[in-house]
Structure 1
Amino acid sequence: MLVMVELIVRKQIKNDGRRNYFGKLPSSDCILLDFIKPWRTFKIIEVK
């Protein structure tokens, strides 16, 4: 499973139709945001 994320919002923003809403990150996984740096790509890989 490969997910491409273009924007991570860490605060509330107005939905102006220019962004795609992907979903919410559970608070238990918010520590992962510390590893995602601006303008860098990353992958979310499902472990089975």
Structure 2
Amino acid sequence: MAVPSPAAPPRLGMMSPLDLDEHPKHLVRDHVLTLGVIVLFCAVVLLLGR
């Protein structure tokens, strides 16, 4: 099995993949927040439309 050469340049941070899976998932909270923003937006549109 080939071992990486120690003479290789170090990997830059921008060349490594992002750890997007490390973000904690709060699915219920995100859905409730989205629903609240949509309801608030609709209420503002209805009040300004009068």
Q: Fold-level match, TM-score > 0.5?
A: no
CA radius of gyration, larger in: 2
Higher relative contact order (CA 8 A, sep 6+): 1
Larger helix proportion, structure 1 or 2? 2
